[in-house]
Each structure stands twice: as C-alpha cells, then as structure tokens.
Structure 1
Amino acid sequence: MAEGLLAGKTAVITGGAQGIGYAIAERFLAEGARVVLGDMNAEAVAEAAAKLGDGAVGVAGDVTSADDVAALVETAIDTFGSLDVMVNNAGITRDATMRKMPEEHFDQVMNVHLKGTWLGTRAAAEVMREQGSGSIINMSSISGKVGNLGQTNYSAAKAGIVGLTKAAAKEVAFKNVRINAIQPGLIRTAMTEAMPQKVWDSKMAEIPMGRAGEPDEIAKVALFLASDLSSYMTGTVTEVTGGRYM
C-alpha cells in the first residue's frame, strides 16, 4: 500500500512539463500521489511523464480551452479513479511597458493565467463538490502583490488569481473543498534564468535571504496545501519569497 502525505490521491498539475509544475509533480509522486500533467507542448509533457515514471500521465492541452481542461480532469478520473488535488500552475510572460505592450499580449497573459485558473478551478470544484473533498492550489505571484515594471498584464492576472481564489473558496468551503493560492518570489527556473543579468541582480537585492528559491521549495508548500496538514485552511495566500517585500 502506498505511503505518504498524498497516498492514494490523484492530482492534476497544469504547466507540468517543466519548472515549478514538474517539481510539484515529483514531490507529489514521492508522497504517494498519482499525477496527470497538462502542458501545451505535447512532446515535452509526454517526456516529462515518462521521466517521472509509474503513476504519471501527460496530456497535451490549452488551459484557456474549457474542453481541454475538462479532458485533464476526465483523464485523472478515468485513469486513476479520482481527482483529489488540482494545481493551476500554467503560465506565460509577455513583458513590455504599458506604452509598448500590444493589446494581444495583454489578452494572452490574462487568458492563460486568469481564465485558465478559473477554468481549472471550476472544473475541479465540480468534481470535488460531489465527492465532498478536495484541494485546489492556484499559482499567483509576488508580482500580484507589488506590481512589476513591464508586467501590467502579468501583475494584473496574478492579482486577479488572489481574488478568484478567495471568492471561489467561499463558494465551496461547505462541501469540504479547499482553495488556496501560492505567491512565489524569484524562483530559479529556465524562464527566470533567461532574464538579463541586470534585472536578475536587482531582484536579488530585494531578497533578505540573499538567494533565489528553488522549484522544490514551492513544491513543498504545494504539498502542504494539498495534504491534510492544511485541513483547516482555505482562501489563503502563502508568500514564498525569501522575505522579499515584507
């Protein structure tokens, strides 16, 4: 019999082929869960699932499509028999100052982050309400608290995820479905390491702990929120930032 904080549980993780999403999948599997990874890149998500091994399935899809999100949920139920944890993690960046940002780039970021999180939350909550349990984890960002230069789209979307999380949590709490958000700070991923050195250095200067976080440090917080360790928590926003913007 599987052991661990998530023994016997099934989790769907969007944006699961790399970075924070992949780290969450690794951590969940180590704690006894089965995972369904969702990602836009069909080849990458298949490779990620194969690398994770038994108990992991990859599904290509677009989180801005209700049908694709439904397919993720259905895969979890059809393959593993339940949906116990939903991690809405998929995201993109299209950075530019407001003056230079094309309207299309504003819409793309809002759709992936905010609409994608809403679709994932709605689809998961529908299943979890019926079974009388479940945990939904929405990935916000410290950018949704303080705002970042050149990220009017991203900061707005990440702030919106906080409001969405709190409102949705109130709707389903009576059914024992919990919805919480995480706000990562500077985390060492392929996306952040592609920043110009000057930008990286300026962000590092704001972190009292003096270092960037690692993807697994977000994964461990996601594990806490997914498990019964956080059984009396819903509608919360957890900052994981090394002390940035205290």
Structure 2
Amino acid sequence: MNTVVITGAASGMGLEATELFLSRKWNVVMADFDDVNGVKIAKKLSDLFPGQVYFHKTDVSNDKSVANLFDASIKQFKTIDSVINNAGIFVKGALHEVQEDAWDRIMNIDVKSIYLMTKYFVPAMIEQQHGSIVNTASISGITGDYNMAAYSAAKGAVVNLVRSMALDYGKYNIRVNNIVPGPTNTALFQNNPQSVIDGFKNASPIGRLTEPEDIARMMFLLASDEGKSITGQNIQVNTGFGIYSSQPVQ
C-alpha cells in the first residue's frame, strides 16, 4: 500500500485530498498545525479506514517539527511514496502595507516549508529510487493581483521552484509538480459576502468556482503512477482564471 504525507490536511483542499487518497487505498499522514480539528478528523477517518490514517501536529516552517514529522511518518508506515506540500497562508495588502512579521510568516509557511519537507523526505525517496512531490501554488504566482504582493511573491517562488526540483531529482525517479488553483470553493472562501462569491464565479469563463475535490483529484493523479510522465509542471486547475489578457472585447 502506498503512503502520502499531506500538509495542511485538516481542512479545505488538504482534507479533501486526504479523504480521496484514503478511498483509493493509500495510507495518509495528515500533517497540520491545528491538532484540535486534526485529531478529531483523523479519529473519524480511522473508523472508516482502519490502519490507513495517522495525524501528526506539525509546524511546516520549523526545522525540528518537520524532522519529527518525518521520523513519525517512517515509524508509522515504513516508506513514503509521495509528499503533498499543501500548507499555506494568505497575507493581504500592497507591499508597503505588509508588516515585516507577516512577510516573514508567509515566506516561511508557503516557501520555506517546501525546502524543509524536501530536506527531510527526499533523501528517503532517493534511497528507494522513486517518489513524487506535489506543491500547491496559485494563479496569483503566475499573474499579478491587486493587494496581494506578499502572497504573489511567495507563490511565484513556488511556481519557479518546481522546475529546479524536477531537474535535480528526476535522475532518482522522483517527479515534482505544482497544482495551480484559482478561487476554490472551500469553507474559508464561503465566508466572503455572496456578492464577492458571485463576482468570482462571473469572472470564470465557465461561470463557476473550482471545487476542493477538483484539486484533490489532480493531486492524486500527480502523486500516483497515473501521472508517471508528468514532471516540472505548473498545472492550472482553476476554471479558466488567468487566461484573459484583460483587453476589451472587440
């Protein structure tokens, strides 16, 4: 049975991915800083998928915490076949409005976390001569957005990092890819006013938001042998956001 480690696994896209991988008979290590919800969710999932799920409280921006996650994951499931770097945060504001601690925090959680997860998990993948890594990027790392300077900078780093990782680790039969979501219909997104939600829907050429399960299905494809020929890619799953040049209709 294959094993995947998913960060940010206790909510949103990470939780959707957790449930999908379990349903497809993978072991899942749920890594999340929110241990209250994480433990509760893992217990419920363990009742449905006995022996397949393990929760570990993790600060993905902290070296020791990620090292402990690796040790616990190997102890629980022996080998790791895939890592999904899904944990991330959002900081709003023009660049001069962003506080230094907020800048550091988003860079640590959205970018440094990928470095730390790679530092600890990739050597084991190199030794076993196979593995896959999937990072959650964002359409805001490819295009510019108003009042999202720090977020765009962090996700822009992730967008380019995937290429170097894929080049460096391909010789070990390790694939690395990014999923590039746009506005996604998570519980957090639903906290927006209905007018804002409708505005996002109307901005999509197909008139809807991406659903968390859409992201989860792509995560599975890229993590599994279904995507064995895909590496170094930024794959957009975002109902067409980012394809418009902003020129007026002619």
The aligned residue for residue 178 of structure 2 is 181
Aligned residues of 1:218 and 1:240 also touching (Cα < 8 A): yes
In the alignment, is residue 11 of structure 1 matched against residue 16 of structure 2? no
The aligned residue for residue 129 of structure 1 is 126
In the alignment, is residue 162 of structure 1 matched against residue 135 of structure 2? no
In the alignment, is residue 66 of structure 1 matched against residue 59 of structure 2? no
**Size of the alignment, in residue pairs?**
239
Alignment RMSD, CA only? 1.3
The aligned residue for residue 152 of structure 1 is 149
My pick for the range that moved more, 232-241 or 115-124, is: 115-124
Larger of the two Rg values belongs to structure: 2
Q: C-alpha separation between the residues in 1 aligned to 2:17 and 2:221?
A: 11
The aligned residue for residue 3 of structure 1 is none
Aligned residues of 1:36 and 1:72 also touching (Cα < 8 A): no
Q: C-alpha separation between the residues in 2 aligned to 1:202 and 1:149?
A: 15
Question: Of 86, 104, 118, which aligns to 2:101?
Answer: 104
When normalised by structure 2's length, the TM-score is 0.91
Question: Of 69, 82, 92, which aligns to 2:89?
Answer: 92
Aligned residues of 1:85 and 1:136 also touching (Cα < 8 A): yes
Q: C-alpha separation between the residues in 2 aligned to 1:203 and 1:234?
A: 30
Aligned residues of 2:165 and 2:176 also touching (Cα < 8 A): yes
Deviation at 1:109, TM superposition (A): 0.8
Deviation at 1:95, TM superposition (A): 1.2
Identity, % of aligned positions: 35
Aligned residues of 1:109 and 1:153 also touching (Cα < 8 A): yes
When normalised by structure 1's length, the TM-score is 0.93
Q: C-alpha separation between the residues in 2 aligned to 1:180 and 1:111?
A: 20
- Relative to structure 1, is the Cα distance of residues 99 and 197 closer, same or farther in structure 2, using a 3 angstrom cutoff? farther
**Deviations for 1:44-68, whole angstroms, at most 9, x for unmatched residues?**
1111211221211111110001221
Aligned residues of 2:142 and 2:159 also touching (Cα < 8 A): no
The aligned residue for residue 30 of structure 2 is 37
Can you give the 5+ residue segments of structure 2 that lack an aligned partner in the other structure? Answer: 244-250
Q: C-alpha separation between the residues in 2 aligned to 1:151 and 1:199?
A: 16
